[in-house]
Amino acid sequence: MAAGSGLILPRLPDNPHLRGLLAEFGSIAVPAAALPPHAAMVFLCYTNRSGSSFLAELLHATGRLNLADEMLSADEVAADRRRHGHASFADFLAAHMRWRMVEGRFAVKLATLHLDVLGRAGVLDHCRATARYVFIARRDLLAQAVSAEIATQTGQWNSRMTVEVAPERLCFSRPRIAGWMAGFAEDNRIFRAFFRRNGILPTEVIYEDLVADPARQVRAVGAALGLPGLRADPAGITLARQAGALNARWREMFLRG
């Protein structure tokens, strides 16, 4: 089974990524010696449709951080193992850190399930002294939920992806949108409880503020990482906002009841 962590981890009823990784490797324990020495981890803690990919791209476009992604999902790890032949989960993580670190920092996106995986693997405890947490959330959970439901039905989770289902064929569902809202609220609660219980002060980025003034949010994150004056090169930004008239219409329909 996985190594323990001195940190107080969230109690999740089920973690399909943990189950998948244990099925893939048998163990997810990561010895401290397996990680590159003196590496500083940067954890972008997110929920779906919170702007985390945009923030990750902005930070990468500064040239001072690797592009953080969702590399810890079980299917992504299994596919990467087939490509590179990692003998263990520790080998997988260490290899990506060596390949992708920039200036001794390694950024990765964490949903609550990924946080649980790294905690059980012992990684969060190993890097406790140097890790920095960035927590990105939205004020408007209804807009976030509408965005998630549209992305689920179209198959388009970012502006670079193609639409699999035409917008005119989408179906408004109040129960599904309400379910997304409840899920996002719970994941935000889990993150905040984890930070509070472990004395972690994350850098919080609010989606609406990020969209309104990306440069200011990048500077704030940079200051927290010990990188003052951080600036993203606009040429490195390829993602665009996806919200449109359909998002506004479904939001209004939900509020009307």
DSSP symbols for 89-101: HHHHHHHHHHHH-
The pLDDT tens digits for 14-26 are 999 999 999 999 9
Task: State the burial class of residue 164 (Cβ atoms within 10 Å of its Cβ: 0-12, 13-18, 19+).
Answer: exposed
Assess if CATH 3.40.50.300 describes domain 16-140+188-241. Answer: yes
Specify the pTM. Answer: 0.93
The pLDDT tens digits for 116-143 are 999 999 999 999 999 999 999 999 999 9
The pLDDT tens digits for 43-72 are 999 999 999 999 999 999 999 999 999 999
DSSP 8-state symbol, 10: -
The torsion of the CA quartet 96, 100, 103, 107, rounded to 10 degrees, works out to: -70
| Measured CA distances, 15 to 65, 111, 116, 219 (Å) | 29, 11, 8, 34
- Tokens at residue 55, please? 């923030």
The pLDDT tens digits for 169-217 are 899 999 999 999 999 999 999 999 999 999 999 999 999 999 999 999 9
CB atoms within 10 A of CB 227: 18
The closest alpha carbon to 251, from 105, 99, 144, belongs to: 144
